[in-house]
A and B are shown apart, each in its own frame.
Chain A
Amino acid sequence: MLELVLFSLLNGLVFATLLFMLSSGLTLIFGMMGVLNFAHAGFYMLGAYFAYTLTGYLGFWPALVVAPLLVGLLGAAVERYGLRRVHRFGHLAELIFTFGVAVVIEEVVQLAWGRTAKSYEVPALLDFPLFRLFRTSFPAYKAFMLLVSVGIFVFLFAILTRTRAGLIIQASLTHPGMVAMLGHDVPRVFMLVFGTGSALAGLAGVIAGPVLGTFPGMAQVLGTIVFVVVVIGGLGSLTGAFAASLLIAIVQTFAVALDVSLSSALATVGLRMSAGGMLQDLWKVTIAQVAPIMPYLLLVLILVVRPTGLFGTRET
Chain B
Amino acid sequence: MSTPAPATVRALELEKTARAQRLRRYGVWIAAAAILVGLPHVLRTPVAIPVMNQMGIAVVFALSYNMLLGQGGMLSFGHAVYFGLGGFIAAHVLNLAGRGVLYLPVPLLPLVGGLGGLVFAALFGSFSTTRAGTVFAMISLGVGELMASSALILDKFFGGEEGITTNRAKAPALLGLDFTTDRHVYYLIAFWALAAAAMMSAFSRTPVGRMANAVRDNPERAEFVGYSQRWVRFVSFCAAGLFAGVAGGLFAVNYEILTAENMGLSASGSVLLMTYIGGVGYFIGPILGAVIFTFLQSMLSDYTGMWLLYLGILFLATVLFVPAGFAGVLMLHAPAWRARRLGRLLGPYLLAGLLGLVVAVGVVGLLEMIHVVVSAPTGRTAKRLFWMTVDVRTLWPWLAFATLAVAGAVGLRWAAPQAAKAFTEASRPVETR
Binary contact readout A83-115 vs B (1 if CB under 8 angstroms, 0 otherwise): 001100101110111011101100110111111
Contact with A along B131-157 (1 / 0, CB 8 A): 101110111011101100110011111
The reply to whether A280 and B138 form a contact with Cβ atoms under 8 Å apart is: no
Contact between chains at B319 and A111 (CB < 8 Å): no
Listed stretches A166-174, A251-259, A288-296; interface member: A288-296
* Interface flag for A22 (CB, 8 Å): no
Collect the chain A residues with CB atoms within 8 Å of residue B388's CB.
none
Does A315 have its Cβ within 8 Å of any Cβ on chain B?
yes
Interface string of B160-204 (1 = CB under 8 A from A): 000000000000000000000000000000000000000000000
* Contact for B145 among A86, A111, A282, A296, CB less than 8 A: A296
Q: In the bound complex, what is the Cα–Cα distance between A303 and B370 (angstroms)?
A: 44
In the assembled complex, which residues on chain B have CB atoms less than 8 Å from the CB atom of A100?
273, 312, 315-316, 319
Known: A112-B374, A290-B153, A293-B149. A96 touches B138 (CB 8 A): no
CA distance A290 to B152 in the complex (A): 10
Binds B, one of A56-64, A155-163, A196-204, A223-231: A223-231
> How large, as a class, is the contact surface on chain A?
35 or more
The proximity string for A residues 291-306 relative to B, scoring 1 for CB distances below 8 Å and 0 otherwise, is 0110011011001100
A111–B309 alpha-carbon span in the complex (Å): 9
- On chain A, the residues within 8 Å of B308 by CB distance are 103, 107
Expressed in whole angstroms, the Cα–Cα distance for A105 and B354 within the complex equals: 28
Q: In the complex, what's the smallest C-beta–C-beta distance from B17 to chain A, in angstroms?
A: 34
Whole-angstrom CA separation of A297 from B127 in the bound complex = 13
Whether A307 contacts B269 by the Cβ 8 Å rule is no
Partner of A303, one of B138, B146, B309, B375: B138
Which of A282, A292, A316 makes the CB contact (< 8 A) with B135? A316
Looking at the assembled complex, report how far the CB atom of A51 sits from the nearest CB atom of chain B, in whole angstroms.
18
B313 within 8 A of A: yes
Say yes or no: A296 contacts B316, CB within 8 Å: no
Distance in Å: Cβ of A50 to nearest Cβ of chain B: 15
Is the Cβ of B315 less than 8 Å from the Cβ of A103? Answer: yes
CA distance A220 to B128 in the complex (A): 23
B392 at the interface (CB under 8 A from A): no
Q: Is the CB of A111 within 8 A of B272?
A: no
Interface of A is mostly: helix
Q: How far is the CB of B229 from chain A (nearest CB, A)?
A: 14
Give the size of the chain B interface in residues (CB under 8 angstroms). 45
A235 to B374, CA, bound (A): 40
- Report yes or no: A97 in contact with B309, Cβ–Cβ below 8 A: no
Query: Does the CB pair B154–A112 fall under 8 Å?
Result: no
Instruction: Across the interface, name the chain A residue whose C-beta is closest to B375.
Output: A114
With both chains docked as a complex, state the minimum distance between the C-beta of B75 and any C-beta of chain A, in angstroms.
Answer: 6
Q: Is B265 at the interface (CB under 8 A from chain A)?
A: yes
Alpha-carbon gap, A36 to B133, bound state (A): 11
Chain B residues with CB under 8 A of A123 = none
Give the CA-CA distance A278 to B157 in the complex, in Å.
5
Residues of B with C-beta under 8 A to A316: 133-135
Query: In this assembly, does A279 line the interface, its C-beta being within 8 Å of a C-beta of chain B?
Result: yes
B154 — nearest CB in chain A belongs to which residue? A281
- Is there an interface contact between A296 and B272, defined as CB atoms closer than 8 Å? no
| Given A296-B149, A303-B138, A307-B135; A220-B154 close (CB under 8 Å) | no
Could you tell me if A224 and B141 are in contact, using CB atoms closer than 8 angstroms? yes
Q: Are B145 and A96 in contact (CB under 8 A)?
A: no
Determine whether the beta carbon of B269 is less than 8 Å from that of A99: yes
A139 contacts B by Cβ under 8 Å: no
CB–CB B138/A299 < 8 A = yes
Chain B residues whose CB sits within 8 angstroms of the CB of A112 once the complex forms: 370, 374
B321 to chain A, nearest CB (A): 9
| Residue B130 lies at the interface, judged by CB distance under 8 Å to chain A | yes
Q: Which of B363-382 contact A (CB under 8 A)?
A: 367, 370-371, 374-375
A82 within 8 A of B: yes
Q: Which residue of B lies closest to A275 (CB)?
A: B156
Specify which chain B residues have a CB less than 8 angstroms from the CB of A227 in the assembled complex: 138, 141
In the assembled complex, B326 has its CB within 8 A of some CB on chain A: no
Q: Is the CB of A108 within 8 A of B139?
A: no
A186 and B273 alpha carbons, distance in the complex (Å): 31
| Residue in A96, A224, A292 whose Cβ sees the most chain B Cβ within 10 Å | A96
Q: Is the CB of A292 within 8 A of B149?
A: yes
Given contacts A114-B375, A278-B156, 6 further A-B contacts (CB under 8 A): A95-B75, A103-B273, A104-B312, A104-B313, A107-B312, A110-B309
Could you list 28 examples of A-B contacts with CB < 8 Å? A89-B323, A91-B134, A92-B73, A93-B319, A96-B319, A97-B319, A100-B315, A100-B319, A103-B308, A103-B312, A104-B313, A107-B312, A110-B309, A111-B371, A112-B374, A114-B375, A224-B265, A227-B138, A281-B153, A281-B154, A281-B155, A293-B145, A293-B149, A293-B153, A296-B143, A303-B135, A303-B142, A304-B128
Q: Which residues of B contact A (CB under 8 A)?
A: 73, 75, 92, 127-128, 130-131, 133-135, 137-139, 141-143, 145-146, 149-150, 153-157, 265, 269, 272-273, 276, 306, 308-309, 312-313, 315-316, 319-320, 323, 367, 370-371, 374-375
A interface residues, Cβ below 8 angstroms from B: 36, 82, 85-86, 89, 91-93, 95-97, 99-101, 103-104, 107-108, 110-115, 220, 224, 227-228, 231, 235, 277-282, 285, 289-290, 292-293, 296-297, 299-300, 303-304, 307, 315-316
The 10 nearest A-B residue pairs measured at CB: A107-B309, A299-B142, A103-B312, A104-B312, A293-B149, A300-B142, A296-B146, A100-B316, A296-B145, A316-B134
